[in-house]
């Protein structure tokens, strides 16, 4: 199908912004149901403790209190499930301890819920929660993944000896990699921590559950990224209630960054409780609860080695990672350090031998799961830090070293996809292209001159590179199923043409900042040749959308958009039959362009709106054709999509204080075809800011007692506008060869590419001043830079 009215590729303003910037958004916390009650949680102040007696008597007697439930009340209910099974190297299934709705017997991380208090107002619930008396007997605590597997470490779960969830390996056999490594002329080794991040969506998690006794129906409003998945997991796996009697709605959602993909204990608990008390129950996390109980991200302790021959060609990569999963398995926690991390370690390079070994570990910390990029930032950080460091160590220019090692361009049509050593087959790529463009934008030669001059004048400038690849739209279902996914990863798209020719599009993806209501409407309006305003996109309600896997992993346009495209094709095909009948021609002789069905080579045509009306008022109509113009499609992709790009950071260091200033940030991203350049640029900007946040500002800090010591905005530093220069973005287009729109996805690229570029720039600046350091632990505070300049 060809573009018909030029809407694809246009920076159409976001239609959803009208309601957001006028305060008319409808978030879960805005929803107040008749008979509404409010919940507050009693949460453990200890990271690891036996629970003694729980005395709720005083709290129950307080004004407005409706009910209080503790672990004992829900002990018979299943825990929340994990959606991805990873096996031990020896084939044993991973350890999967129950993740209970309320702690039973013992608590395993600070902030874990011990009791729920339900009252007539939020204030009453909070006051009563404070009056619940819980006896704790403190147990020894372990927070660090590498420590947790050592003999004698405190045990988080009895059923997981040495706190191991699984160990796992991917790539070439270890012996082959060792052998290749032994031939290397130079080996660059880096031991580092990819620190724990707290996602910090601006809208806290919020749930409002109700039970309609007359019809035996549950409704859950939830601040989620994937309502259907929540419905499935909650009804079938946790509560054992009939799926068709459960409606899950994800209304407007104020950001997720991964943290709202997962099925949280509170969702199921509130739904269960709403039935128990036969009144709606609402809970909205306060910011402290968000810090403590939203699933965190990253937290890897890694040793990585990359061997090079004397020309600088990579010969081997060996990686050992301890991944901290926290106290319980969150929904997709197990696939992040494995299938979203190990599989990306080919990067953009031709490294012939790769082995990655991952040990996933339980600790007394908040569960860790996918956070913007999920595994791919960890892989990219590892590779790109190694590349820059190797270049510095070998005295080769870091850009030149990359050019030497890049996989040559391939379009996936005339040239085949690229088979990596770590299971994936890249779809299409032109990796040198993005680096060349980035270098041009930077003015690289000139920069190196200025850097030298600056060093002579007592100023330190540094440049850092990151040439990344990522994998979006995890698929196909059969493949991910074989790898342990317990869900299919297809998408559903329904296109309903109304009798007037206006179009409603239903998607199983969910928009919480991505702008689907705009982009998807652009696609449909373009392909149907109708006005943008004539298309509305509906998402987020399991009662109106057939099914869906929601939005995560930058999958929405690549998978969800493709499902919609399939339905659009069916609409056009059926439309041709209707039009042919009207025009007294054969359907095969019709072409559809510019919103009209035309008999090829004639001026006989009929408009799309006309055909739509005829479909619903089928007085003059083909004999064997059903009325109506409404199609739903499932799309299961043939492969992942592989966006890639080049990010370049320039930093300046204040030599007296170690303070860093990010002077420039260049992002050249190839996300395949672009539907709405403004939205893509916005996604890149947001992603870059989060990636810079990880490099320079953010990071959860646990003390040895398992207390989160920086769980407020006074201590946990979010990046702000004045921390960044104007981000310089540019694109390159290498279409995806295997989906109808040729799109690859843009939601995570910014986060994945940016972090190592910034850290590499700091290291480069330090080297330019003669301070030979291999690594600074993120977030790189002024003090860390200052110390590096004192000692190195």
Partner 1 sequence: MIPTAFDYTKPATVEEAIAALSDGDSKLLAGGYSLIPAMKMRLTQPSKLVDISGIPSLKGIKEEDGEIVINAGTTHYEILTNDLIKNRLPFFTQAAGIIGDVQVRNRGTIGGSLAHADPAADWPAPVLAAEAIIDVKGTGGGRSIPATDFFTGLFSTQLLPDEIIVAIRIPVQEGARSVYLSFEQPASRFAIVGCAVLRKADGRVNIAFTGVSEAPFRDRGAEAVFDGKSWDTATIDTAVDAAIGEVDVLSDHFASSEYRRHLAKVYLKRALQALA
Binding site for partner 1 (CB under 8 A): 122-123, 126-127, 130, 286-288, 656-657, 659, 697, 701, 709-710, 713-718, 781-783, 786-787
Please state the closest distance from residue 715 (CB atom) to partner 1, in A. Answer: 5
Please state the closest distance from residue 692 (CB atom) to partner 1, in A. Answer: 12
Question: Is 70 strand, coil or helix?
Answer: strand
Rounded CA-CA distance 263/238 in Å is 10
415 vs 657 by CB, closer to partner 1 = 657
Helix axes 431-442, 444-456, angle to 10 degrees: 50
Nearest to 560 by CA among 505, 485, 500: 505
Please state the closest distance from residue 40 (CB atom) to partner 1, in A. Answer: 8
Neighbouring residues of 266: CB distance < 8 A, sequence distance ≥ 6: 41, 113, 205, 207, 283
Please state the closest distance from residue 723 (CB atom) to partner 1, in A. Answer: 8
Please state the closest distance from residue 283 (CB atom) to partner 1, in A. Answer: 13
Rounded CA-CA distance 315/351 in Å is 5
Neighbouring residues of 64: CB distance < 8 A, sequence distance ≥ 6: 119, 120, 121, 124, 125, 128
Contact 336, 342 (CB under 8 A): no
Which runs of E-coded beta strand occur in 243-370? 246-249, 281-284, 297-308, 314-326, 354-362
Rounded CA-CA distance 122/169 in Å is 48
65 vs 668 by CB, closer to partner 1 = 65
191 vs 286 by CB, closer to partner 1 = 286
Rounded CA-CA distance 196/50 in Å is 26
Rounded CA-CA distance 144/164 in Å is 12
Please state the closest distance from residue 782 (CB atom) to partner 1, in A. Answer: 8
Ramachandran region, residue 661 (left: φ > 0; alpha: ψ -120 to 50; beta: rest): beta
Tokens of 704: 């040895």
131 vs 752 by CB, closer to partner 1 = 131
Please state the closest distance from residue 378 (CB atom) to partner 1, in A. Answer: 23
Please state the closest distance from residue 193 (CB atom) to partner 1, in A. Answer: 15
206 vs 729 by CB, closer to partner 1 = 206
Please state the closest distance from residue 6 (CB atom) to partner 1, in A. Answer: 42
For residue 192, what are the CA distances in angstroms to 169, 211, 378?
A: 19, 49, 11
Please state the closest distance from residue 714 (CB atom) to partner 1, in A. Answer: 4
Rounded CA-CA distance 537/519 in Å is 9
For residue 469, what are the CA distances in angstroms to 45, 380, 617, 750?
A: 41, 8, 51, 11
Please state the closest distance from residue 664 (CB atom) to partner 1, in A. Answer: 20
Order of strands, edge to edge, in the sheet holding 186-197?
A: 164-171, 354-362, 314-326, 297-308, 186-197
Please state the closest distance from residue 33 (CB atom) to partner 1, in A. Answer: 20
Q: Is 211 exposed, middle or buried (0-12, 13-18, 19+ CB in 10 A)?
A: buried
440 vs 715 by CB, closer to partner 1 = 715
202 vs 620 by CB, closer to partner 1 = 202
Task: Kindly state the helix (H) or strand (E) to which residue 577 belongs, with its residue range.
Answer: helix 561-583
544 vs 712 by CB, closer to partner 1 = 712
- SS3 labels along 447-458: HHHHHHHHHHCC
Rounded CA-CA distance 705/116 in Å is 25
721 vs 726 by CB, closer to partner 1 = 721
Residue 685, phi then psi, degrees to nearest 5: -55, -50
678 vs 717 by CB, closer to partner 1 = 717
Estimate to the nearest angstrom the gap between the alpha carbon of 732 and the chain centroid: 23
289 vs 305 by CB, closer to partner 1 = 289
Which runs of E-coded beta strand occur in 44-171? 49-55, 65-70, 106-107, 113-119, 133-138, 164-171
403 vs 786 by CB, closer to partner 1 = 786
- Hey, how many other C-beta atoms are within 10 angstroms of the C-beta on 387? 26
Please state the closest distance from residue 287 (CB atom) to partner 1, in A. Answer: 6
479 vs 717 by CB, closer to partner 1 = 717
Please state the closest distance from residue 56 (CB atom) to partner 1, in A. Answer: 19
Rounded CA-CA distance 222/252 in Å is 9
Own/partner pairs, 392-396, CB within 8 angstroms, 24+ separation: 392/763, 392/764, 392/767, 393/186, 393/188, 394/186, 394/308, 394/312, 396/312
Rounded CA-CA distance 486/331 in Å is 10
For residue 393, what are the CA distances in angstroms to 178, 405, 765?
A: 21, 16, 14
- Secondary-structure percent of the chain, ordered helix, strand, coil, rounded to 5: 30, 25, 45
126 vs 423 by CB, closer to partner 1 = 126
158 vs 656 by CB, closer to partner 1 = 656
- Terminal Cα distance for the chain, rounded: 60
447 vs 786 by CB, closer to partner 1 = 786
Please state the closest distance from residue 152 (CB atom) to partner 1, in A. Answer: 28
Please state the closest distance from residue 28 (CB atom) to partner 1, in A. Answer: 17
Neighbouring residues of 418: CB distance < 8 A, sequence distance ≥ 6: 407, 410, 425, 426, 429
132 vs 317 by CB, closer to partner 1 = 132
Please state the closest distance from residue 330 (CB atom) to partner 1, in A. Answer: 24
């Amino acid at each position: 199908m060809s573009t018909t009215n030029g809407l694809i590729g246009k920076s159409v303003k976001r239609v959803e912004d009208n309601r957001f910037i006028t305060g008319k958004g409808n978030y879960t916390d805005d929803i107040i149901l008749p008979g509404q009650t409010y919940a507050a949680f009693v949460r453990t102040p200890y990271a690891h403790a036996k629970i003694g007696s729980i005395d709720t008597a005083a709290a129950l007697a307080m004004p407005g209190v409706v009910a209080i439930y503790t672990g004992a009340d829900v002990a018979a209910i299943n825990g929340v499930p994990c959606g991805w099974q990873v096996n031990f190297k020896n084939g044993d299934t991973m350890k999967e301890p129950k993740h209970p709705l309320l702690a039973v017997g013992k608590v395993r991380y600070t902030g874990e819920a011990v009791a729920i208090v339900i009252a007539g107002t939020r204030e009453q619930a909070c006051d009563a929660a404070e009056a619940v008396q819980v006896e704790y007997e403190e147990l020894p605590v372990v927070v660090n993944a590498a420590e947790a597997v050592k003999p004698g470490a405190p045990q988080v779960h009895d059923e997981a000896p040495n706190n191991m969830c699984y160990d796992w390996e991917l790539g070439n056999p270890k012996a082959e990699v060792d052998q290749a490594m032994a031939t290397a002329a130079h080996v660059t080794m880096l031991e580092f921590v990819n620190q724990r991040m707290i996602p910090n969506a601006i809208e806290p998690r919020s749930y409002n559950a109700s039970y309609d006794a007359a019809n035996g129906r549950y409704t859950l409003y939830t601040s989620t990224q994937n309502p259907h998945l929540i419905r499935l997991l909650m009804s079938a796996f946790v509560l054992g209630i009939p799926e068709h009697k459960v409606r899950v709605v994800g209304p407007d959602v104020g950001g997720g960054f991964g943290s709202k993909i997962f099925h949280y204990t509170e969702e199921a608990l509130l739904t269960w409780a709403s039935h128990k008390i036969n009144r709606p129950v609402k809970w909205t996390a306060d910011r402290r609860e968000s810090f403590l109980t939203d699933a965190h991200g990253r937290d890897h302790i890694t040793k990585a080695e990359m061997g090079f021959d004397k020309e600088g060609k990579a010969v081997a990569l060996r990686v050992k990672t301890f991944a901290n999963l926290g106290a319980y398995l969150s929904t997709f926690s197990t696939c992040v350090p494995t299938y979203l991390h190990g599989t990306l370690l080919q990067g953009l390079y031709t490294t012939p031998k790769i082995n990655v070994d991952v040990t996933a570990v339980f600790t007394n910390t908040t569960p860790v799961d996918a956070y913007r990029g999920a595994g791919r930032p960890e892989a990219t950080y590892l590779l790109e830090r190694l590349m820059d460091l190797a270049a510095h160590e070998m005295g080769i220019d870091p850009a030149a070293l990359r050019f030497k090692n890049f996989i040559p361009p391939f379009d996936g049509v005339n040239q085949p996809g690229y088979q990596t050593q770590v299971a994936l087959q890249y779809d299409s790529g032109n990796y040198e292209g993005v680096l060349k463009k980035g270098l041009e934008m930077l003015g690289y030669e000139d920069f190196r001159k200025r850097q030298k001059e600056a060093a002579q004048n007592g100023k330190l400038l540094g440049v850092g590179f990151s040439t990344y690849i990522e994998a979006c739209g995890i698929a196909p279902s059969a493949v991910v199923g074989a790898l342990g996914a317990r869900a299919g990863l297809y998408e559903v798209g329904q296109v309903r043409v109304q009798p007037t020719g206006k179009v409603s599009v239903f998607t199983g993806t969910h928009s919480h900042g991505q702008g689907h209501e705009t982009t998807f409407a652009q696609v449909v309006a373009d392909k149907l040749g109708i006005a943008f305003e004539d298309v509305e996109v509906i998402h987020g309600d399991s009662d109106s959308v057939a099914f869906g896997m929601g939005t995560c992993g930058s999958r929405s346009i690549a998978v969800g958009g493709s499902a919609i495209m399939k339905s659009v094709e069916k609409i056009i095909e059926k439309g041709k039959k209707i039009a042919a009948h009207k025009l007294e021609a054969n359907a095969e002789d019709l072409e559809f362009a510019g919103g009209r069905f035309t008999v090829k080579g004639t001026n006989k045509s009929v408009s799309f709106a006309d055909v739509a009306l005829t479909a619903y008022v089928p007085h003059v109509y083909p004999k064997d054709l059903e009325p109506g113009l409404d199609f739903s499609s499932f799309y299961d992709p043939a492969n992942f999509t592989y966006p890639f790009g080049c990010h370049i950071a320039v930093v300046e260091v204040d030599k007296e204080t170690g303070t860093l200033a990010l002077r420039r940030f260049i992002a050249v991203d190839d996300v395949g075809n672009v539907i709405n350049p403004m939205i893509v640029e916005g996604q890149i900007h947001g992603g870059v800011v989060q990636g810079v946040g990880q490099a320079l500002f953010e990071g959860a800090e646990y003390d040895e007692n398992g207390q989160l010591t920086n769980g407020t905005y006074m201590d946990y530093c979010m990046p702000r506008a004045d921390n960044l220069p104007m981000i310089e973005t540019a694109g390159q287009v290498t279409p995806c060869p295997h989906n109808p729109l040729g799109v690859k996805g843009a939601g995570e690229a910014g986060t994945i590419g940016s972090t190592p570029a910034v850290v590499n720039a700091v290291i480069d600046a330090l080297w330019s001043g003669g301070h030979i350091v291999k690594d600074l632990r993120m977030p790189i505070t002024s003090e860390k830079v200052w110390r590096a300049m004192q000692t190195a």
